[in-house]
Structure 1
């Protein structure tokens, strides 16, 4: 019973830290009435609260309370209430609102959770609406493809919510037509776009309701993984540069250069009798081409979805919402630079009356020929062997350590790969890791992958609470020291450099490795 009480106490402490980090001084610390805190603590907290503007968050007790007639929920203005109610709430708004109210006299329906009413943005949240990816998959994707490791990962019935908390909030004002919201939405879009490999939902509301942290759904929490807004803005700008888009579009130039405002685009998007037949381009091609034009013009993903959702609704034979999302996601994937001129000409000829009299105005846009995405091309010989090796090692790995111990001969016979091919693969692969212990007939060869080793380190961290023990530090450092310096080794060291969850561990590991590798 005492052990159980201790575990509960630790859980409550963790939950309190999570909520305090997410709220960023946006709420009062204690309730104004019926607080359980001692009077001196409330007095000190009241003084501190006066230094920051306070707002509120919205909370819902059950997903079924999101109805077409309104949202049934309540308004929370203090961290104390939020912590007390955490295990009774299913969803909340992690970003704080300055305007909030009930929509009925019974105070059952809530309203005001629109972007213009935001007071401050404390965190960016990504919705992953599937369980086919593990927590380790998500962490690796964040490290490898996105801004860095997340602050918090929560599990839900169908997937995960991934939080990237801010060191200081982004405060919202109506200056320059809510420019701060536009900047924040672009950061959110780029984070979601960077996590497409783990099926991040591009169409989830950027600053709406998300899962509430509770005593049972926290899969990952690192309070040191917080981000300064300036760092995120710079990272987002780099992503925009990669996609060839800018954040701000000057209205005066829109009518000159924008394809979206051209006559042929307007005619095409109002063509409703579009279906297509065998050998004839149809709805999918129209939607894809329109989406590519929007992408080429630098329009936000969410605005394109709203525009094409309305277009799809007006079609005599509309596509399913799922198909439409897939088409827009493909257009915005970054694999294509713009629409194909030949498609536009064919679509106009097929579905727009009098198309021959419509000038094909292209502005100063460049039209591109589409090439197949890299993943759609035939995989190389070594890619196939690498995938076979990864599958074999993953299947054979024990739960107690990341390595499987096999001779190279055993590996070659089991996987069916020639020894010379395996030697070349080891040099080229960025996924495989290899270590050898002992000498001569007593030597052993260990095989693992970068992903499995990172998952192993993450599990060690969870098992040893917040900080690695000295024993674990020494054990991991010793293993890394014995790794052969092949492609996967450099990728692993890069991961460890990004894993900021224990700076002492990073310093210890990287110092040991660099000293030993410089002779």
Structure 2
């Protein structure tokens, strides 16, 4: 049914083209399709769900910020996350929250004065300006958790430190409930495994790719992709030797760096030399990689790597 139709006559015909003719069944099919499309659109419109607007959460408004800002007992020291790291992290929070550099400096000066062992004004200024250099986006959650557990309370968890988002949000299923793991999770597994198996006397592993994949329960093809990305991110060093007696030597860069800063200074240069030989790298590349790793812990300055106060 197409409504009221007038029988064509010479008086009511405005345009005529005999090639533009369709059978009645064609019109029926067209009408049914239009009707179906209209119903589908109406049903879709009814099913649209409006999610709450995502509210911006500033780092300065989160619980961890006040916990660290009002802690006066934070000190520095070699090989630990200390006052330099706290000032840098607080400054990044101000930066990511949109505060001006001058505002951050003023508040960090007040924070520094409350410390039992304050930094010099020049050193404080370098840390703040490093946070505002544009090389960083915001304070790292990983460092925030470590700092709060070190200086506030060791039992603190993410839920105690960060604002939990409210509303309808899509969360991925727990890993144990999924058939497949994400690449990021595999990368974390590999780095954690290397760190667990490394020792000061031997901070690297020697094994085959097949054995490593078996240890991690990871598909070999996935392992190849993970190794390539971690190497590009300067998170692992590895070298593969082919042949009958070949294999792979691999180590976590963070574990290597942790080993170096723990040994006596007279042994550090020998460690770097051993690493360059073991992985077929240049000494300058290894040192630059370690300096990049140390960057979040201390403001950039021209110093020798092994004389840096990481506190």
TM-score scaled by length of structure 1 = 0.28
TM-score scaled by length of structure 2 = 0.43
Structure with greater helix share of residues = 2
**Between Structure 1 and Structure 2, whose CA radius of gyration is higher?**
2
Structure with greater strand share of residues = 1
